[in-house]
A and B are shown apart, each in its own frame.
Chain A
Amino acid sequence: MFKLFAAAGAAALLASSALAADKPNDAQIAHIAYTAGTLDIEAGKQALAKSHDKAVRDFASEMVRDHTAVNDKALALVKKLGVTPQANPTSAGLKSAADKKREELAKLSGAAFDKAYVANEVAYHRTVNGALKDVLIPSAQNGELKSLLQTGLTLFSEHQQHAEHLAASLK
């Protein structure tokens, strides 16, 4: 129930801020995508510091490695395009929700941590993938940015599937 609520809350957050009103511009989209990646890298690092479960650690390593690769590419792209990522309420909302979740997870350990981390990864990827598919990709004006977001969606869909399988195995 809580998980559902958390996921619905995050989705509402994305829908209610920059996304529903005006379409985000490319500078905002770059900021949102980069922020979403950074937050998942931080979550992965927290899991690597706390978890002793091999499958959970492998997943967390995958998140850190893959999101770092995409964010490096995103940074190179905005530099090339001369775009300065622009802070916006969606990025801020994602960050404050992730900060809160990190504090919650910090209080857990062992199997309880593993389950909560993976459940949040399922919800987080579901939310971010929904936003990519429905709002960020359709709104992106620059072709290279759109293409990078599409690559990100393909990758993060695999992450979501991986997280769902992992969550099922931890039950």
Chain B
Amino acid sequence: MNGRFAALALAAAAPFANGVAAAPRQHVVVIDKMRFGPLPNGIHVGDTILWVNRDLFQHSATARDGSFDADLPAGKSGRTVMRRAGAIVFACKYHPGMTGVIKVAQ
């Protein structure tokens, strides 16, 4: 009886432990004063990033590997869905000095 209960508990916990069944989440990255703000932790494949451009200037969030690309007019926001895992290098295609690395887990 105890064994069966333990197995059930494990089965219930497993989807959360490996992240597969977790619902996609949205994370926010703020762009201000020509910088990408702090990058959130715990990003998984399937999650969305909302890029909020608070600058007066047009920016973009463009992955070097082509896995995402959002044009962000001044004062506007854009969303990208993380399609692959890894440390993804990205930049603003209009301001090459603005770069970041976002860590995406499976």
Chain A residues with a Cβ under 8 A of chain B: 62, 65-66, 69-70, 73, 151, 154-155, 157-158, 161-162, 165
- In the complex, how many angstroms separate the beta carbon of B60 from the nearest chain A beta carbon? 12
User: Which residue of A has the minimal Cβ distance to B35?
Assistant: A154
Q: B98, A69: Cβ atoms under 8 Å?
A: no
Q: Which of A69, A154, A157, A158 contacts B74 (CB 8 A)?
A: A69
Q: Which of A65, A151, A154, A161 contacts B58 (CB 8 A)?
A: A65
Q: Which of A69, A73, A155, A165 contacts B34 (CB 8 A)?
A: A155
B58 cross-chain contacts in A, Cβ below 8 A:
65-66, 69
Q: B96, A162: Cβ atoms under 8 Å?
A: yes
Q: B97, A69: Cβ atoms under 8 Å?
A: no
Give how many A-B residue pairs fall within 8 Å (CB-CB).
Answer: 32
Q: A158, B56: Cβ atoms under 8 Å?
A: no
- In the complex, how many angstroms separate the beta carbon of A139 from the nearest chain B beta carbon? 21
Q: B97, A162: Cβ atoms under 8 Å?
A: yes
Please measure, in the bound complex, the distance between the C-alpha atom of A69 and the C-alpha atom of B55, giving whole angstroms. Answer: 10
- In the complex, how many angstroms separate the beta carbon of A163 from the nearest chain B beta carbon? 11
Please measure, in the bound complex, the distance between the C-alpha atom of A66 and the C-alpha atom of B94, giving whole angstroms. Answer: 10
B95 at the interface (CB under 8 A from A): yes
Please measure, in the bound complex, the distance between the C-alpha atom of A92 and the C-alpha atom of B34, giving whole angstroms. Answer: 30
Please measure, in the bound complex, the distance between the C-alpha atom of A62 and the C-alpha atom of B97, giving whole angstroms. Answer: 13
A66 cross-chain contacts in B, Cβ below 8 A:
57-58, 94
Given contacts A161-B97, A162-B95, contact A70 B34 (CB under 8 A): no
Q: B57, A165: Cβ atoms under 8 Å?
A: no
Q: B33, A158: Cβ atoms under 8 Å?
A: no
- In the complex, how many angstroms separate the beta carbon of A166 from the nearest chain B beta carbon? 9
- In the complex, how many angstroms separate the beta carbon of B31 from the nearest chain A beta carbon? 12
